[in-house]
Amino acid sequence: MDAAFVALVVIVVVALAFDYTNGFHDAANAIAVAVSTKALTPRVALALAAVMNLVGALLSTEVAKTVGEGIIDAPVGGEGLEIVFAALVGAITWNMITWYFGLPSSSSHALIGGLVGAALAAAHSVQWMGILDKVVIPMVLSPLVGFGLGYLFMLVILWTFRRANVSRANRGFRYAQIVSSATMALGHGLQDAQKTMGIITLALFTAGEIDDFEVPLWVVLAAAGAISAGTYAGGFRIMRTLGRRIIQLTPAGGFAAQTVASSVMVTTATVFAVPVSTTHITTTSIMGVGSTRRLSAVRWGVAGNIVVAWVVTLPAAGAVAALAYLVTDLVVG
């Protein structure tokens, strides 16, 4: 067993570990609102999210190809494996830091920032136009779309049910949230599990184990299983931030926020094949729904802390990945 193969195995294991941390880091995206409105208990919600994450991860590989081919030029040989390894270290480190402080930052952008940081440290080519088209523009637009659609959809619900019995309507929306929670988790699987598939496929291509950038079935199954297991492990710190600290939603508001967020996630994954942040979309959808009461109903201080985490994620994960590459290159070299 040569050193290159051992390095590849290590990278696959680390990538699946990242996928697992992504699962418990972002589990709150799919279930926090349903739990806070008492539509689902935490454990039932986590089980539902785990199953639907698995289903979503098996449906498509388009985002995986974007992450693997569209961020940096595919590296080759030992240096390429070091770049992929360092990118994963940067992403996992940032995931753990933000999880510890309960900040719902983007695992997607942590991974992309890690790839860019490691590539720059290795003096390797970065596809800057690809980052602009596939990362920066969606990063800016998707939260705005989430906020705007959340606001408008909630207004439609409020007008449609303006004469309904409140308790009966709330009961109905709690049942509807089971469906919207499942769709949220499906969208999360379509987006986030695919990013790990892309990284593992990039490592396989770099090591010469595959000749073209097609995601092997075993990679799809492994990534789907890892994110599903991580989701079931839970993410209660971040769940509290999304479910209660931004704004306490009603069942109708929870249904509106989840429906909008899941629609954006599924559309960006299947139609545009761009990796967007499930965290960004979920949070801004909640803000948009909450703003229909009054702007002051949203705790903008908490929202501001979240936005700071968003802005810092790409460079912070990139910096950690760059350092990890330099250390790895020193050890290996």
- Model confidence pLDDT, tens digit, residues 80-94: 889 999 999 998 888
Q: Determine if residue 277 is left, alpha or beta; phi over 0 gives left, psi from -120 to 50 gives alpha, anything else beta.
A: beta
Indicate whether 321 pLDDT > 90: yes
**pLDDT digit string, tens, across residues 261-273:** 999 999 998 888 8
At 60-113, the pLDDT tens digits run 888 888 888 889 987 778 888 899 999 999 988 887 887 777 766 777 888 999
Which alpha helices (DSSP H) does the chain contain, by range?
Answer: 3-36, 42-59, 62-70, 77-100, 107-121, 128-131, 137-160, 166-188, 194-206, 217-233, 236-240, 251-267, 278-290, 300-332
Residue ranges of domains in the chain: 3-323
- Output the pLDDT for position 303: 65
Q: Could you tell me the pTM of the whole model?
A: 0.83
The Cα–Cα gap between 60 and 194 comes to 8
DSSP calls for 269-287: IIII-----HHHHHHHHHH
User: Which band of pLDDT confidence, cut at 50, 70 and 90, is reported for residue 145?
Assistant: very high
Alpha carbons 256 and 150: distance in angstroms, whole number: 6
Give tens-digit pLDDT for 195-213: 889 999 999 998 889 888 8
What average pLDDT does the segment 9-35 reach? 81
Q: What is the pLDDT of residue 267?
A: 92
CB 226 within 8 A of CB 196: yes
Judge whether residue 150 has pLDDT over 90: yes
Please say if the pLDDT value at position 243 is more than 50. no
User: What is the distance between the alpha carbons of residues 210 and 24, in angstroms, rounded to a whole number?
Assistant: 30
